[in-house]
Amino acid sequence: MSTRSFVALAACAILQAQTKYGVGRPPSEAEIRALGATVAPSGAGLPEGSGTAAAGRELFARKCARCHGEKAGGDIGPALVGGQGTLATAKPIRTVGSFWPHATSVWNYVNRAMPFDKPGSLTHAEVYAAVALILHWNGIVSENQVLDAKTLPAVRMPNRDGFIPDPRPDVKRPGAPGK
Amino acid sequence: MDKTSRRQALRLGAALGGSLGAAAQEPRSLGRPLSAYGERSRFVKPVRATRVTKTPEAGSSSTPLADTFGIVTPSALHYERHHAGVPDIDPATHRLTIHGLVERPLVLTMDEIRRLPSASRIHFLECGGNSGSEWAAENGPTVQRSYGLASCSDWTGVPLRLLLDEVGLKPGAAWLIAEGADACRMQRSVPIVKALDDAMLAYGQNGEPLRPEQGFPLRLLTPGWEGNVQVKWLRRLDVTDQPYMTRDETSKYSDLMPDGKARIFTLPLEAKSVVTFPSGGHTLAGAGLYEITGLAWSGRGRVERVEVTLDGGRTWVDAKLDEPRLRLAFTRFRMPWRWDGRAAAIASRCTDESGYVQPTRAELIEARGTNSGYHFNGIKLWKISPDGSVTNVHA
């Protein structure tokens, strides 16, 4: 490496390390991890661990059924099953099974927000198992399909292509210029 | 008058049968002494309206819009929408972490955030589900119930752009995943264009720190966009190349169309206005002078015009708009009105600086059906009966 390009590189490194205002400090990798899992539709961010619907039954009965119903048909909490084929009808039923476009989102939500009165209390394996059971009851995965960081993002949800971008303004009025 | 002559005068008054004293006023008692923290008058009663549910930590309460003046909502009456209750956060221990596709990830304390260049701006906040009841045939009886998930405050904070410059965006950075410190770690994906435009990290509201219900000690503000995306109790911003399709941008806050497809990321709120007086639940005391007033706002900028109808939409008259008219803030409109005591049907419709005109409910339903649930901005009609009672009807 020539001296000049070395100097340029060093200057670049210094610039990268500097911020304009100099407030705050860089977090360590461990600190970022400690903030908790956050999951992209690609599966990025999914942690280790795995679960099956079979393994989720006992957990669901103990920690979820009280609010969502024994078979997740809804109670204090919303229904988590059913509704497939209803979205284009007068009475659409929006559930994980009929509406949610990504299985990763179910994992991400249950992990951060459920059980409603004790969020953050489930192990990663329990979250995989609970998600597997909900998906199984919706006819999306089989009883013994293992869900983990690799298989979960590959699950194809029935409403995967059901979302479209914002076309508004969509109400055209006579005499109104519109956009 | 010295003490002695005063005493003499009093004695004289008593001798004259108290006639001097009788002309005087009723004695008055002293008022309350100074107080460290003020309360409103005990005669002023408006409160937020809540809906009773079995999980009151996940729900909403609405602003009594008809009982507010001007454009700023008193902080204690700002609408609420929480998904896991209001956390009790000590600002000394609160941290904001910015990481992901950035050159220099940062953790900031609240003290550090408050050292950065700041700004104050007045903006409305409206829940994407505000007026959701209007999609149904049975609509809200009062302006509070039907339009009250909207409020307006003077926010103080740091422009988000400044912090994104500070961390340095990496190529491919297109979204921010914002996360709250509430129990459910509420999470929404925010397009980076908004973050680089007018988004703000707010710690102040109406001259004081944010109220806990509004995100104390720190919240995201994306002015003009639906409230849910403006994550409260902000603890992390993860910069990514894609939205995370979180529960509250897919399962909720998406607009289901009659063909079964749902519109997603319908974030800017369209122009909307409502007459707050007279409105549902009011009773006019009889024929004579009243001031029709209300609020208008738009997620696409300034409100340019508000028209009022007294005959159910056949004819419209321009209302007077309070100045200054601020971008992405409530605008107050007023119109003096001499009621003749006959039946009337009152509504307002606004036009924003993009030229967009607030539609009728029927026009919205024609475009979207009745199952979209969110983002209703239709014209609201109030019916005035000869007995002075004001009730809700659909436009």
**CA of B168, closest CA in chain A: separation in Å?**
8
Residues 105-134 of B with CB under 8 A from A: 105-109, 112-113, 115-116
Instruction: Output phi, psi for A32, to 5 deg.
Output: -65, -40
Task: Select the residue of B54, B184, B371 nearest A112 (Cβ to Cβ).
Answer: B184
**Which of B314, B317, B316, B311 is CA-nearest to residue B382?**
B311
Per-10-residue mean pLDDT of chain A, 179 residues long, equals: 47 56 96 97 98 98 98 97 98 98 98 98 98 98 98 98 97 56
Q: Which residue of B has its CA nearest to A45?
A: B244
> What is the pLDDT at residue B138?
75
Instruction: Output phi, psi for B177, to 5 deg.
Output: -100, 110
Best B225, B246, B298, B300 residue to mutate vs chain A (most A CBs within 10 Å):
B246
CB distance B351 to B301 below 8 Å: no
Share of chain B above pLDDT 70, in %: 94
At residue B87, does pLDDT exceed 60? yes
pLDDT tens digits, residue range B337-368? 999 999 999 999 999 999 999 999 999 999 99
CB distance A125 to A50 below 8 Å: yes
pTM, entire model: 0.92
What H or E segment, with its residue span, contains residue A135? Answer: helix A124-137
Strand partners, B262: A163, B256
> What is the pLDDT at residue B1?
44
CB distance B235 to B180 below 8 Å: yes
> What is the pLDDT at residue A69?
98
Domain extents for chain B? 49-260, 272-393
Best A14, A20, A168 residue to mutate vs chain B (most B CBs within 10 Å):
A168
Average pLDDT over residues B227-238: 98
Verify whether the Cβ–Cβ distance A23 to B263 is below 8 Å: no
Instruction: Just give the CATH number of B49-260.
Output: 3.90.420.10
Average pLDDT over residues B45-71: 95
Measured between beta carbons, which residues in chain B are less than 8 angstroms from residue A170? 367-368
Task: Select the residue of A40, A87, A164 nearest B242 (Cβ to Cβ).
Answer: A40
- How far is it, in rounded angstroms, from Cα A109 to Cα A100? 11
pLDDT tens digits, residue range B277-323? 999 999 999 999 999 999 999 999 999 999 999 999 999 999 999 99
CB distance B148 to B62 below 8 Å: yes
Average pLDDT over residues B251-259: 98
Verify whether the Cβ–Cβ distance A168 to B270 is below 8 Å: yes
| Topology adopted by domain B272-393 | Immunoglobulin-like (2.60.40)
Q: Which amino acid is at A43?
A: G
3-state secondary structure of A76: coil
Verify whether the Cβ–Cβ distance B250 to A100 is below 8 Å: yes
At residue B255, does pLDDT exceed 80? yes
pLDDT tens digits, residue range B175-229? 999 999 999 999 999 999 999 999 999 999 999 999 999 999 999 999 999 999 9
DSSP B120-165: EEEEEEE-TTTTGGGGSSS--SSHHHHH-SEEEEEEEEEEHHHHHH
> Can you tell me which residue has the tokens 């003020």?
B38
Strand partners, B169: B102
What number of other Cβ atoms are within 10 A of residue B242's Cβ? 14
Measured between beta carbons, which residues in chain A are less than 8 angstroms from residue B186? 113
The two three-digit tokens of residue A74, written as one number? 């809804």
**CA of A142, closest CA in chain B: separation in Å?**
23
> What is the pLDDT at residue A11?
45
